Structure formats: structure tokens, C-alpha cells
């Protein structure tokens, strides 16, 4: 059966002082098996790769789960450079304009740490609004043997979810979809994501339904970035994604578009 690959593409203040950088970061643990890489080594890698100077404020979080088949616990590290985004806007003389679009740019990053060999990837930019930190969740999508992960990112008053698997110690994006768009406007749309048993492979289908987003009144327009928007599902199907092992991507069938 013919099909097309169909991936959505998004538009391509927490602080750390010198004393705080080696303190216990936020760690969300999927499994209690320890990882032997020290936080000092992680911080050193982050700062070297992203050219973070000693007086630059930034935040990072570490998420842990078994993301491949080697029985070790792996890590996803998120880094937020909101301070850099604001400073670059000031230097450009376009603070108001940059603030209006949520300082969109390469100011949110992830690193992957392989639990077996302790190798850390180079930074992977996730273009988005740095006023919202990236949100990581773990799911059994491709198989039940180990976890895959998703990233929720914000672009102004819209939110998108990217789906990743680990291949050869590198995160590989396999799909992307909207969670909500144009929230709080007449063009607002919301979506609800579910998984179902795979149709053509062991990987689960990703099923998208139209949703209804809760209404929230914000005291400040920037509150949209820190607010969790609850979405209730409807029974109206938007699309169903199928996984292609050959291309390591999700696709939508032509006759279902």
C-alpha cells in the first residue's frame, strides 16, 4: 500500500550560579539503577559544548530511563538558555519584538548520555520559546523492551510533541504532532494523543483525536509558558500514524489524509 512520510516541523528563569552548578539537579528517575557519570562531568560538558561563560545563568534537568537494550540506565539532559536569549535580544536592540515571539530560537537543548559507555552527545538544539523549558516523558512506543521518549516544546501559545527513539547511542526523531495551537484565540485547536497496538509492526500506532482545551485566564501573557493546559479528548479522529521500521519514521497513509 502506498504511503507518504508525514512529519510536522515546528519553527526551526532558572539560574545556576557558580556554587549551584554542581548541586543536585532535578532528576526524574524511571529506574533506581545508578549512573556512574558525575554531575561535575555533565556540567563541564554542557558548558564547554554550549560555550557557557562563568557568569551566564542557565538551568538544566536530568531525566533517567532505560532507553536501549543494554540493561543500563540512560539519561536525557535538558538545558535552558533563557538568559542568553534575553541578552541577545538586548544586544540587538529588539527586545520588544523578540519578547513578542517568545524569544524563539536555539535556546533549548538536549544531550543524551549512554548509560553503558558513559558517552555524551553533542548538543541537540530544539528550536522553541525558551520561556518554557522542554518537558520530557518516557513511553514504550517502538517496543516493550525499553523506553522511548517525547519532548513537549512551546512556540508562543502553541505546544508540539516530538517523538524519539535511540539508535546507535543517538536520539532519532521519529514523529511530531501538535498538542494545541493558537491557544486563547479564535483559531485555537487542541489534540489528544493515544497509543494503540501496531498495525504493521510491533511499534504502536500513534492516534490523534481532536481535543477540547480547558480555558485559563492569565494575569500575565507570559504565564502561558509555565501553565499546564489540560485537554479532554473527543471521539473525532484526526489522523493515525503507522511506524515504518525501514525508514524509522511514522507515516500516514494516503487514503487516510
- Per residue in 10-37, pLDDT tens? 333 333 433 334 344 444 444 433 445 7
Pairing of strands 59-65, 26-29: parallel
What is 101-156 written as a DSSP string?
Answer: TTT-BS-EEEEEE-TTT--BPPPEE--B-TTS--EEEEE--S-SSS-EEEEEEEET
DSSP three-state, residue 252 = strand
Radius of gyration of the chain (CA): 19
* Predicted model pTM: 0.86
| Residues 115-132: tens digit of each pLDDT | 998 899 999 999 999 999
Cβ 121 vs Cβ 112: under 8 Å: yes
Amino acid at each position: 500500500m502506498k504511503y507518504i512520510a508525514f512529519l510536522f516541523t515546528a519553527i526551526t528563569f532558572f539560574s545556576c550560579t557558580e556554587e549551584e552548578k554542581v548541586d543536585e539537579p532535578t532528576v526524574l528517575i524511571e529506574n533506581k539503577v545508578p549512573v556512574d557519570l558525575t554531575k561535575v562531568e555533565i556540567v563541564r560538558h554542557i558548558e564547554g559544548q554550549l560555550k557557557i561563560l562563568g557568569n551566564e545563568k542557565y538551568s538544566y534537568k536530568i531525566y533517567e530511563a532505560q532507553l536501549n537494550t543494554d540493561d543500563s540506565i540512560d539519561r536525557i539532559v535538558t538545558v535552558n538558555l533563557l538568559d542568553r536569549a534575553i541578552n541577545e535580544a538586548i544586544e540587538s536592540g529588539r527586545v520588544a519584538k523578540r519578547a513578542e515571539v517568545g524569544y524563539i530560537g536555539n535556546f533549548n537543548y538536549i544531550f543524551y548520555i549512554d548509560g553503558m559507555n558513559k558517552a555524551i552527545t553533542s548538543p541537540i538544539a530544539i528550536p522553541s520559546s525558551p520561556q518554557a523549558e522542554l518537558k520530557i516523558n518516557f513511553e514504550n512506543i517502538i517496543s516493550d523492551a525499553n523506553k522511548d521518549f517525547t519532548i513537549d516544546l512551546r512556540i508562543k501559545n502553541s505546544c508540539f510533541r516530538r517523538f524519539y527513539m535511540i539508535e546507535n547511542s543517538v536520539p532519532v526523531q521519529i514523529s511530531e504532532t501538535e498538542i494545541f495551537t493558537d491557544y486563547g484565540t479564535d483559531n485555537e485547536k487542541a489534540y489528544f494523543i493515544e497509543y494503540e497496538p501496531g498495525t504493521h509492526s510491533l511499534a504502536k500506532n500513534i492516534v490523534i483525536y481532536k481535543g477540547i482545551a480547558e480555558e485559563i485566564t492569565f494575569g500575565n501573557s507570559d504565564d502561558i509558558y509555565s501553565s499546564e493546559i489540560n485537554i479532554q479528548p473527543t471521539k473525532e479522529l484526526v489522523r493515525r500514524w503507522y511506524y515504518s521500521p525501514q525508514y524509522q519514521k511514522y507515516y500516514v497513509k494516503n487514503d487516510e489524509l
